[in-house]
Amino acid sequence: MSVPAEQKVLLLLQHAGPYEIRSVPNHTLQAGEVLVRVEAAGLNPSDWKTRFTEYSFALGGVYPARQGHDVAGTIVQLGEGVTAFAVGDKVFHQGYYSNRLAGFQQYTAVAADLVAMAPKNLSVDQITSIPLALMTAAAGFYQPRNTTGGGAGITPFWQDGGRGKYADEPIFIFGGSSSVGHYAIQLAKLGGFSPIITTASAKYNDFLKSLGATHVIDRTLPLSQLPEEVKKITATPITFVYDAISEAGTQNAGYNILAPGGVLILVLLDAIDKAKKTEDKEVTMAYGSPHIDDPKARALGVEMYERITGWFESAVLRPTDVEYVPGGLNVIPDAQERVRAGTVGARKLIVHPQETA
């Protein structure tokens, strides 16, 4: 398969600055990598957060910066030593904030052990919605407790004894309709948690119950009323809270619901009122990437990418809804504004970088 010498990329020129599309030299592969022609890339809230807010630390201060976490496409070249894939394979993987890995470009170079074959039963757009959201839910569930980048220390559902292990243990998940929350519900169901209580707009009730939620609390209920609402559902202390929203309000409400000995998993930086913190409640922030500088994050990613295709082909997991936005990399700035405004709802926006003008 021919590989062009140049490719188009979307560059963020500076912190809070504009984007620009430029033609740049294509990647030269290192051993163990594959070159993927990016046919679909997904937008995420982290794109605008790393562009405009204190989360820009994730870009490492390097501008122009490349972004884009979710990638599906075709392998067009194999690095030395790669035998698990062939040129022409349809694959998907998680991108990252680096020139090689970012999804908002026409080609990416990625380590082959963090790539998976595209599930045959899903469209390229549906597949693209998977990587970041699933990895963020999984990191929060499965990374060990009391570590940086840690999680709840739950046994993964694919490991011995993991399926159904947490029967009769309740879990509370803020934001079940978010992409991350959608997978948190499914992982909770696979672990056997019960009840699985989540918050969302009432319109998502049936959908979230079809994923495994047993109780959906309307997200317009004042957060101060949540502890009472939870007591109506279960008398068992809640020792697992996954906050897929992690605004200051939900974080503090989650801390109030959490029982001593329990763990609250955040997806954003800790904003819990310091005055009310006690040593018997653990708070941790999930890092949903196998590409960060943390061996346990990579190890979880490798374990998952060995199995991920099968989970979706056999409907063990279901992807989120997607909306394809025509216009390639050119439309990302406008589409990002929709994500930032919070008007997209329970679906992921997908662009096709090969359409870039």
Ligand X SMILES: NC(=O)c1ccc[n+]([C@@H]2O[C@H](COP(=O)([O-])OP(=O)(O)OC[C@H]3O[C@@H](n4cnc5c(N)ncnc54)[C@H](OP(=O)(O)O)[C@@H]3O)[C@@H](O)[C@H]2O)c1
- The residues binding ligand X (CB under 6 A) are 44-46, 49, 132-133, 136, 174-175, 177-180, 199-201, 219, 244-247, 250, 267-268, 286-288, 342, 345-346
CB of 216 to ligand X, least distance (A): 10
The HSE-up count of residue 209 (CA atoms within 13 Å, CB side) is: 10
Rounded CA-CA distance 143/149 in Å is: 8
Closer residue to ligand X in complex, CB, 78/154: 154
CB of 87 to ligand X, least distance (A): 31
Question: What's the DSSP call for residue 203?
Answer: G
CB of 93 to ligand X, least distance (A): 16
Angle at CA 287, nearest 5°, toward 281 and 290? 140
Closer residue to ligand X in complex, CB, 108/246: 246
The HSE-up count of residue 154 (CA atoms within 13 Å, CB side) is: 35
For residue 90, what are the CA distances in angstroms to 30, 74, 75, 76, 243?
20, 5, 7, 10, 33
CB of 211 to ligand X, least distance (A): 13
For residue 168, what are the CA distances in angstroms to 156, 191, 193, 314?
17, 10, 6, 26
Residue 240's DSSP bridge partners are: 263
CB of 94 to ligand X, least distance (A): 10
DSSP-assigned states of every residue in 58-102: GGTT-SSB----EEEEEEEEE-TT--S--TT-EEEEE--SSTTT-
CB of 353 to ligand X, least distance (A): 20
